[in-house]
């Protein structure tokens, strides 16, 4: 007996604690103060100059590095004052950095800066720092800062190296173009939705062609394409998105783009909460859960909610576990959108069977053991075993079968399959919470599986995989990360 519930707003967890608040200072045309003449002071002076700040360096004995950076200042002018700093030097200063060997000097510098209301950093002395520099990936005006709160600078540098490799140098040119074109887009006459669509098209093109120079022709073309979409841009839409079986890293790039452009996200119970970390923070999240045993929203209520939101001009993402086209009722939702004239598209996802097989390291169609793979539902509308299952196909020894959500019906399912010729010694794997950290597996034969499941506590969506392709896992359950799996 199912228990009905109404769609409700999903409130994700609040922001976790931050060791540092990432901020980006605008220093172009402002004054910065650097105290000290060491190589560390020279590097900070160069960094501040790169932002466009005029940098006053106070050093009784300026190092060669200081003199070199003065001669080749990357942005704002660097002026060396051959004396110690004083309290009056903090007038009209936007930011201050000191490099000192002695604790007393560092403490006095920080105290003076704070008294003057100037944010201060003392190199390698975190007790006297209001902010930290961290590692920087420079594709200015695209700038990425990385901080480990001083705990592991080498780790931060390693992360920076990884990001450097991932972010093409050409993104700098596209970011500069975005900066130039922003005011023109604002004045283009496009609606709010149209302007957002322009930047979506811009982003797709930048990602696809990062290493060429964006041109005025690109701008005209993107504006033209946005206008050609006409009123469709201002209308609402529905996108059915496959969230995959659980691991958020299995999301497709297209799924991430859909989540980041959504106004409202209708979320299934089976979706991993971590997937929502990829969503636009401003998007409203609503739980429209459908579970086999717990309270469920009626499909008609979900359909009505989708249409109501889309008709109000919202970009609606219907976020479903696994692939929406495999036992996800996508066909019904696509049909109601089409009948109502609402634009609808489907973004496929990694299915539970694919995710589980990947974690097992098993090919579902290994040419030595299987010539086809089939997905079968373990329950009908009434919660019982479907009456129209093709049992001879289940019993075919050259087939791999994935049975979705057979928690209540597996014993009956197995009885029919064995009666139609399936060998009870056929290898099988039961998987719950596939691809998640708390994934559970039972490796057994299909003949023993119902008894094994009855004796175990497996929570979450259940999948049972049956076929000769799993024979090696039955013989060697500890292969490929199966140390925690239980075998017969």
pLDDT per position as a tens digit, 92-140: 999 999 999 999 999 999 999 999 999 999 998 989 999 988 889 999 9
pLDDT of 303: 92
Strand order in the sheet with 8-9: 8-9, 284-287, 264-267, 315-320, 237-242, 344-347
Alpha-carbon 311 to chain mean position = 28
Q: What is the pLDDT of residues 52-102, one digit of tens each?
A: 999 999 999 999 999 999 999 999 999 999 999 999 999 999 999 999 999
Q: What is the mean pLDDT of the chain?
A: 89
Cα separation, 432 vs 247, whole angstroms = 13
Please give the angle made by the CA atoms of 172, 175 and 178, to the nearest 5 degrees: 155
Mean pLDDT on 389-411? 94
pLDDT of 298: 86
Q: What is the pLDDT of residues 187-224, one digit of tens each?
A: 999 988 889 889 989 998 998 899 999 999 999 999 99
Least confident of 146-155, 420-429, 451-460, 478-487: 478-487
Query: In this model, does residue 1 exceed pLDDT 90?
Result: no
Q: Do 295 and 217 meet the contact criterion of CB atoms below 8 Å apart? A: no
Tell me the range of 110-114, 278-282, 313-317 where mean pLDDT is highest: 110-114
Q: Which two tokens stand for residue 20?
A: 């540092």
Q: Do 473 and 429 meet the contact criterion of CB atoms below 8 Å apart? A: yes
The CATH classification number of 31-133 equals 3.40.50.720
Establish whether the linkage from the previous residue to 460 is cis, with ω within 30° of 0: no
Q: What is the pLDDT of residues 346-365, one digit of tens each?
A: 999 999 999 999 999 999 99
Mean pLDDT on 282-289? 87
Residue of 9 and 282 predicted with greater confidence: 282
How many residues comprise the chain?
A: 488
Is CATH 3.20.20.480 the classification given to domain 353-487? no
pLDDT of 19: 86
Mean pLDDT on 443-469? 89
pLDDT band at 16 (very low <50, low <70, confident <90, very high): confident
Helices 171-186 & 216-228 angle (0-180, nearest 10)? 50
Tokens 């299915």 belong to residue: 351
pLDDT of 481: 42
Cα separation, 306 vs 316, whole angstroms = 7
- Is 231 exposed, middle or buried, given 0-12, 13-18 or 19+ CB atoms closer than 10 A? exposed
Give the rounded percent of residues in the chain with a pLDDT score beyond 90: 67
Highest CATH level, class, for 237-350? alpha beta
Query: Any residues with CB less than 8 A from the CB of 12 and at least 6 apart, and which?
Result: 273, 276, 285
Q: Which two tokens stand for residue 342?
A: 């609402």
Tokens 């006053």 belong to residue: 56
Eight-class DSSP state of 277: G
DSSP 14-50: PPPP-SS-------TT-EEEEE--SHHHHHHHHHHHH
DSSP 263-330: SEEEE-TTS-GGGGGGS-TTSEEEE----SSS-B--HHHHHHHHHHHHHTT-EEEEEESB-TTTTS-H
Domain boundaries, the chain: 31-133, 171-229, 237-350, 353-487
Give the rounded percent of residues in the chain with a pLDDT score beyond 70: 93
The catalytic site residues sit at 268, 290
Cα separation, 407 vs 104, whole angstroms = 69
Cα separation, 267 vs 316, whole angstroms = 11
Query: In this model, does residue 482 exceed pLDDT 70?
Result: no
pTM for the model stands at: 0.71
| 311-326 CB burial, b ≥16 within 10 A, e <16 | eeebbbbbbbbbbbbb
Q: Which two tokens stand for residue 368?
A: 């030595």
Cα separation, 137 vs 131, whole angstroms = 18
Q: Which two tokens stand for residue 77?
A: 């002018």
pLDDT band at 480 (very low <50, low <70, confident <90, very high): very low
Query: In this model, does residue 454 exceed pLDDT 70?
Result: yes
Tokens 């946005």 belong to residue: 226
Query: In this model, does residue 476 exceed pLDDT 50?
Result: yes
pLDDT band at 151 (very low <50, low <70, confident <90, very high): confident
Cα separation, 488 vs 484, whole angstroms = 13
pLDDT of 479: 45
Q: Do 70 and 37 meet the contact criterion of CB atoms below 8 Å apart? A: no
């Amino acid at each position: 007996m199912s228990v009905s519930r109404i769609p409700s707003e999903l409130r994700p967890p609040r922001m976790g604690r931050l060791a540092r608040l990432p901020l980006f200072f605008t220093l172009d045309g402002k004054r910065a103060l650097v105290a000290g003449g060491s190589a560390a002071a020279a590097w900070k002076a160069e960094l501040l100059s790169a932002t466009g700040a005029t940098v006053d360096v106070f050093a009784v004995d300026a190092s060669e590095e200081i003199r070199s950076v003065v001669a080749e200042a990357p942005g704002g002018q660097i002026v060396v004052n051959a004396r110690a700093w004083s309290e009056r030097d903090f007038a009209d200063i936007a930011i201050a950095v000191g490099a000192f060997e002695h604790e007393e000097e560092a403490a006095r510098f920080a105290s003076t800066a704070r008294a003057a209301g100037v944010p201060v950093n003392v190199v390698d002395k975190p007790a006297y720092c209001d902010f930290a520099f961290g590692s920087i990936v420079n594709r200015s005006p695209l700038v990425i800062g990385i901080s480990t709160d001083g705990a592991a600078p080498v780790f931060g540098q390693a992360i920076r190296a990884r990001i450097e490799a991932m972010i093409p140098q050409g993104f700098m040119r596209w970011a500069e173009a975005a900066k130039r074109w922003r005011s023109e887009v604002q004045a283009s006459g496009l609606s709010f939705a149209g302007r957002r669509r322009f930047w979506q098209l811009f982003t797709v093109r930048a990602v696809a062609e990062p290493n060429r120079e964006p041109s005025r022709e690109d701008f005209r073309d993107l504006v033209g394409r946005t206008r050609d979409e006409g009123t469709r841009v201002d209308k609402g839409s529905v996108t059915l998105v496959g969230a995959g079986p659980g691991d958020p890293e299995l999301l497709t790039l297209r799924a991430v783009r859909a989540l980041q452009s959504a106004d409202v996200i209708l979320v299934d119970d089976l979706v991993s909460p971590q997937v929502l970390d990829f969503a636009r923070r401003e998007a409203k999240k609503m739980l429209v859960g459908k579970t086999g045993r717990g309270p469920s929203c009626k499909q008609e209520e979900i359909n009505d909610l989708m249409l109501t939101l889309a008709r109000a001009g919202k970009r609606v993402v219907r976020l479903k576990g696994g692939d929406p086209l495999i036992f996800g009722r996508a066909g019904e939702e696509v049909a109601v959108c089409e009948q109502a004239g609402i634009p609808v598209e489907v973004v496929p996802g990694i299915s539970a069977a694919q995710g589980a097989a990947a974690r097992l390291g098993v090919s579902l169609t290994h040419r030595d053991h299987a010539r086809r793979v089939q997905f079968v539902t373990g329950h009908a509308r009434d919660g019982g075993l479907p009456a129209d299952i093709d049992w001879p196909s289940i019993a075919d020894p050259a087939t791999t079968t994935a049975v979705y959500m057979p928690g209540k019906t597996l014993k009956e399912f197995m009885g029919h399959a064995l009666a139609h010729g399936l060998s009870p010694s056929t290898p099988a794997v039961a998987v719950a919470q596939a691809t998640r950290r708390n994934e559970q597996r039972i490796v057994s034969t299909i003949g023993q599986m119902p008894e094994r499941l009855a004796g175990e506590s497996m929570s979450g969506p259940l999948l049972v995989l049956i076929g000769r392709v799993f024979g090696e896992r039955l013989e060697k359950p500890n292969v490929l990360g199966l140390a925690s799996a239980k075998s017969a």
